[in-house]
Chains A and B, each alone.
Chain A
Amino acid sequence: MKKLFHNYYFSTLLFYLTILLLGFIIKDPYVITILIFAGLNALSALGLSLLMGLAGQISLGQNGFYGLGAYLSAIFALNYQIPVSLAVLLSALISSFLAIFLAIPALRLRGHYLAVATLGFGEIVYLLLNEWGPGGPSGFGNIPKLSIGGLVLEDPLSYLVLTWTIFCLFFLLLQNLSRSTFGKTLHALHSSEVALRTLGINILSLKLKIFIFSAFLTALSGALYAHFITFLSPANFSVFYSVLLLMMVMLGGIHTLWGAPLGALFITLLPEVLRPFKEYDVLIYGFILTISLIFFRKGIFQALEKGIKYVLSFRS
């Protein structure tokens, strides 16, 4: 029984309840909206955290999947009258299917080459959305809201519950995965691909599964975003989104899946705190990211924890 309270099911539940409680206590629709964005970002970042932290592969093209998920789902619901919840699922599935075509050749590449290939993919999606997306660069609106069983989720609070429930479900699943031997095999990709191959493991198919799943999570997040905000324009799907996700994962801590939600909360809330300096957001992001990469490579939360322990050790 004691073990149960220490395990990840319990801590995830605690985290989930804390977020919801925060929403229910504050009630301010603005704050709730920010928390919803944080949840959507956390879902996208979870995909990247899986890919980078666990399997050691980089992607700078997550904005492409985010955009595909959002646009496809919106178009399905708006132009083809597909029920929204089905459209969301369908768009995430189609996006992850499209990921295969990028992934099969791209995952043969390593390091910088993989980074730039995925960057190129994301940029292509962005340019295509600008050229041929509905409404072009100025975007389109009137996207239907999400409804579940005839109940339209108008109230931000209900969307908050939905977003974080979906996030926490996948969060639990991925923690399952990372503890399984399959997860350890992914981890082994960091140290020796050669050894894995000589054990009979098909490296490409291993990476492929992870890449597709990470695309699925990010596209799902994009689709959920579309039906919450009900208006889409390409501006939100530029490479900068991928960089933001990267920052969330790095700042939150790349070696743990917890990095995704913590980093997402931090990066999503940061601009709100920095509102008076809004003009300089690029500068501030760049500064924080550079510093944290050089000095706190395991994420700021771990650095913070160490710092606190250090201070406490002086007290006693």
Chain B
Amino acid sequence: MELFLQYFFSGLTVGAIYALIALSFNIIYNTTSILNLAQGEFVVLGGLVMWFFLEKLKLPYGTSFLLSLSIGGLVGLAMERLTIRPVLKTADPLLLILITIAFSILLRGVLMFLFGKEPYGYPPLSEGEPIVLWGAVLQRQVIWIFIFVILIMIFLYVFFNQTMFGRAMKACAIDRVSAKLMGIKTTQMVMVSFILSGIFASLAGILITPITFVEYDKGPLLTIKGFTSAILGGLGSNWGVMAGGFLLGILESLTAGYIHSGLKDVLALLILLTMLLFKPAGLFQTAEQARLRKL
């Protein structure tokens, strides 16, 4: 039982990270129908930049944290401005996919150029002994990760339901053409979605690095995991993809614990393929719902 709980906790930890990545996928997907395959690189970016501010420049934790988030947002902005906007009008899906792949390679290259190939780590948000809960060990950083996930959920709820801008974005997600006719500046929405997405993905990186370390080439696998979570929960719904992230994290952790650790990545990919091929709308919504959400 303790062993199970231990696997469950570590599953929740990884799952929270997957949930954040899945969320950053979802935000861009909702406004543009683009799947940004550079998402994993943003996670790596967050961790590496945080290390730079915290360990290299010796800035205070809070300052480094905010600076790293802003860098994530800025790179998101740069990506949208420089690579997405020039081609968005052509609306050729093949081209848009290729562009996000190209940008992911570019970003990976830049990170390697700046940071080299070594793994990086830094201390967690708060020092202290791990917490023991029903015999299973829980690191303090994990508590922080949960707090941030909850904060983001609250933020998203308020943003999309209570603010004018968020509602406009929601309208844009539901029906881009009508939103445009109503005078909503859809290009602005696209921009904001890339910034938000960049911030969330780098937040995932900032939070996970003290637990697992980060290096320049971890991006692609994180992209796949985040995407699998999004597909599992059903692209289009923020709550769905969150749930998908946690579910994937737990399944992986149990597989690694009870069966074989090498299988956990294969499992994720098998889940991805199975979902894509047989239920692309996700576990929690019907195809009709997914279509209505994304007409």
Contacts and interface: CB of A to CB of B under 8 A. Distances in A.
Direct contact of A and B (CB under 8 A): yes
B94 A283 contact: no
A243 interface: yes
B269 A123 contact: yes
Contacts of B224: 116, 119-120, 123
Contact of B97 (A109, A111, A124, A289): A111
B110 interface: yes
Nearest to B216: A282
A287 B109 contact: yes
B279 to A, nearest CB: 11
B97 A243 contact: no
Contact of B276 (A56, A117, A279): A117
A117 B273 contact: yes
Determine which residue in A105, A246, A290, A293 has the highest number of CB atoms from chain B within 10 A of its CB, and name it: A290
Interface residues of B, number: 41
Contact of A280 (B112, B262, B272, B273): B112
Contact of B93 (A60, A108, A111, A286): A111
Contacts of A279: 112
B94 A294 contact: no
Interface string B269-295: 110110011101000000000000000
Interface in A243-267: 243, 246, 250
Nearest to B220: A239
B102 A293 contact: yes
A290 B107 CA distance: 11
A283 B276 contact: no
Contacts of B113: 280, 283
A283 B37 CA distance: 17
A145 interface: no
Contacts of A109: 276-277, 280
B105 A124 contact: no
Given A239-B220, A243-B105, A289-B106, A58 B94 contact: yes
Nearest to B105: A286
A121 interface: yes
A285 interface: yes
B128 to A, nearest CB: 37
B227 interface: yes
Contacts of A281: 109
A120 B273 contact: yes
B107 A293 contact: no
**Which 3 A/B pairs are nearest by Cβ-Cβ distance?**
A283-B109, A286-B106, A286-B105
Given A109-B280, A239-B220, A286-B106, 11 more contacts: A58-B97, A60-B101, A108-B277, A116-B272, A120-B273, A283-B109, A283-B112, A284-B109, A286-B105, A287-B109, A290-B83
28 contacts: A56-B94, A58-B94, A105-B278, A106-B276, A109-B277, A111-B94, A112-B97, A113-B276, A113-B280, A115-B35, A115-B97, A116-B227, A117-B277, A128-B266, A246-B101, A279-B112, A281-B109, A282-B108, A283-B109, A283-B110, A286-B102, A286-B104, A286-B107, A286-B109, A287-B106, A289-B106, A290-B103, A294-B99
Interface of A: 52, 56, 58, 60, 105-106, 108-113, 115-117, 119-121, 123-124, 127-128, 130-131, 239, 243, 246, 250, 279-287, 289-290, 293-294, 297
